[in-house]
């Protein structure tokens, strides 16, 4: 039961953080994960990456739980070099965002990685 509560809380927290999914929301997400740039459309935000590639936010490896904590503290979240490092950290710390709550083409979907 505690696990379901924790899952529900993180989903609600991300939904509250991201809002309705406006351009401002996408721009804030890019800034919060460390993608500095002038993105004038949601499509540009989705394609934003470091280093610039065609994979967009898929190149940014952050734990969603840590992202939300970092935003509350006014800092950037830890970024991992690759999905494997992120997966190990996520599993070891039990900070898994529930896959079934990742909305199609939404920001959570852009940040999700194969963990298990």
By C-alpha distance, which of 15, 90, 26, 11 is closest to 57?
Answer: 26
Instruction: Write out pLDDT tens, residues 87-98.
Output: 999 999 999 888
Percent of the chain with pLDDT over 90: 40
Q: What is the pLDDT of residues 54-96, one digit of tens each?
A: 456 778 899 999 999 999 999 999 999 898 999 999 999 999 8
Q: What is the pTM of this model?
A: 0.84
Domain ranges in the chain?
2-111
Confidence at residue 85, expressed as pLDDT on a 0 to 100 scale = 94
Residues in contact with 49: Cβ distance below 8 Å, sequence separation at least 6, in sequence order = 35, 55, 56, 57, 58, 59, 60
Tens-digit pLDDT profile for residues 10-48: 989 998 998 888 999 999 999 999 888 888 998 888 888
């Amino acid at each position: 039961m505690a696990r379901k509560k924790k899952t529900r809380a993180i989903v609600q927290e991300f939904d509250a953080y991201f809002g309705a999914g406006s351009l401002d929301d996408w721009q804030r997400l890019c800034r919060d994960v460390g993608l500095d740039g002038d993105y004038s459309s949601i499509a540009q935000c989705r394609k934003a990456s470091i280093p610039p590639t065609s994979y967009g936010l898929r190149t940014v490896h952050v734990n969603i739980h840590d992202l939300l904590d970092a935003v509350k503290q006014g800092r950037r979240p830890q970024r991992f070099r690759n999905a494997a490092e992120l997966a190990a950290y996520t599993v070891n710390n039990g900070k898994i965002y529930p896959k079934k709550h990742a909305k199609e083409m939404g920001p959570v979907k852009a940040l999700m990685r194969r963990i298990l």
